[in-house]
Structure 1
Amino acid sequence: MRRPAAVLFDMDGTLIDSEKVWDVSLADLAAGLGGVLSPETRAVMIGSNMDRTMVLMFDDLGLPHDRLAMEEGGRFLTKRTEELFREGLPWRPGAADLLAAVKEAGVPTALVTSTERALTEVALDTIGRDFFDVTICGDEVDGRNKPLPEPYLKAARLLGVDPADCVAIEDSPTGSASAAAAGCTVLVVPCDVEVPIGPGMVHRESLVGVDVPALGALLDR
């Protein structure tokens, strides 16, 4: 059985159940802008980066794309989410055990998230930096964010591995599309939204019981 050349982990909704935190900060931003974020737009935001989130927010509230207002909205969202992150982040089922198993097996790892670096650093206080050989954040891919393949391609480049030999673990349609486009085998564990299963994707209800041999078996499918 093959071992993955690397395991590439998404963060929000995959390792930690942080989408519930984003629900609060996004609702607070929408209220500050004089509106209420629709459930449909909130669902589309899952897995997106800050720039796209602001566009979706302003479109949903019927607001013009005023650059300064959108930048201010992004700063508010980052600050509010950071406050909530510091209050504690719950693990997704099985995620902590899988991280430990991959680390113990000596398989290279990357954290590949659409969240910006500043917030990711706060989240890593909970997750643990030592689990990852590299971390790629949403503001570090020159605007080529998920669902484009660049975040996962960059992670593979930094690790010196072929994406085709990697397993990516994702929870959202946006992230799963990014990893699949990069050529990874994608283990999809949905959190808050359904994920259509496409080529190169395998669906699982949770990470409970997943270990390195199980990830290797995905490559042999």
Structure 2
Amino acid sequence: MDGTLLDSEKLWDVAVYELAEHLGGEMTTAIRHSLIGSSGPNALKIIFEAFDLQPYPAALDDAGRWLEKRVTELFENGIPWRPGAKDALAMVRDSGLSTALVTNTKRSLTEYGLDTIGREYFDVTVCGDEVDNGKPAADPYLRAVRLLGLAAQACLAIEDSPTGTLSAEAAGCSVLIVPCEIAVPDGPGRAFRESLVGLELAHLHEAMR
């Protein structure tokens, strides 16, 4: 969702930089890039470690609530689409393919994203707080393919980050990568596009390894 379908990473930028100030630290580009694609709990642990803060459960919970409140405020003002994403979703649905939204974002915030995207585009949705381990673990994609009733090897994930790519690969899915904020390394079986603009069904078949 974030960075693949919606250009929401820029909104997360605002929130995490403000959270850093709230915690008395300084958000650097390197720290920010390490957060992209991470689940909420993992992102907070990265921030606490970077700022040399003790990751006490109560402190992590307070930071998580602060971040969710700020992101919610930003999301309520509307979330822009990534280029070509809306047309790509329509093409996939018109082609009769089963679809799942698989995101590390927690359910309460994902619902704001779905207000923009449209729930009708997905057969199932899987959020970061609905699995034991978020991306880069395989859990989110394994849950998605199970809910779809498909084998992972029959599925193609569209991802924008190294974290999401590793998750999809660990589950056994093929991956089409459309980088957003940070580069994703090349690797065996990985297919790449510069954007979702002009995406066609044939391109999805070509990306299946």
Over the aligned positions, Cα root-mean-square deviation in angstroms equals 0.9
| Whole-angstrom CA distance in 1 between matches of 2:187 and 2:206 | 18
For 1:23 and 1:45, the matched residues in 2 are separated by: 10
Corresponding residue of 2:103: 113
Shift of 1:45: 0.5
Name the counterpart of 1:90.
80
| Equivalent position of 2:63 in the other structure | 73
Q: Which has the higher relative contact order, 1 or 2, with Cα contacts under 8 A spaced 6 or more apart?
A: 1
- Aligned-pair distance for 1:70? 0.9
Q: Percent identical across equivalent pairs? A: 54
For structure 1, the residue ranges without an aligned partner over 5 or more in a row are 1-10
Structure 2 unaligned spans of 5+? none
Shift of 1:98: 0.6
**Ranges of 4+ aligned residues in structure 1 off by more than 3 Å:** none
Kept after mapping to 2: 8 A contact 1:112/1:155: yes
Tell me if structure 2 keeps the 8 A contact 1:180–1:201: no
Structure 1, residues 81-109: CA drift from partner, whole Å, max 9, x if none?
01101111111111100100111111110
Contact map agreement 2:158 2:177 (CA 8 A) in 1: yes
Residue identity in the other structure for 1:75? R
Matching residue of 2:50: 60
Task: For residue 16 of structure 1, give the secondary structure of its aligned residue in structure 2.
Answer: coil
Distance 1:64 1:214 in 2: 47
State which of 195, 199, 204 in structure 2 corresponds to 1:210: 199
More helix by share: 2
Partner in structure 1 of residue 183 of structure 2:
194
* Cα distance, 1:200 vs structure 2: 2.5
**CA–CA separation in structure 2 for the residues paired with 1:152 and 1:109:** 12
Deviations 1:93-133, CA, capped at 9 Å, x for gaps = 11100100111111110000000000000111001111000
**1:79 and 1:123 mapped to 2: Cα distance?**
15
How far the C-alpha of 1:160 sits from its partner, in A, is 0.6
Partner residue of 1:18?
8
Deviations 1:145-172 (A, max 9, x none): 1111111111001001111111100000
CA contact (8 A) 2:190 2:207 kept: no
State the 1:213 CA deviation. 2.2
3-state SS of 2:130 partner: coil
The counterpart of 1:43, out of the listed 33, 37, 42, is 33
* Count of residue correspondences: 209
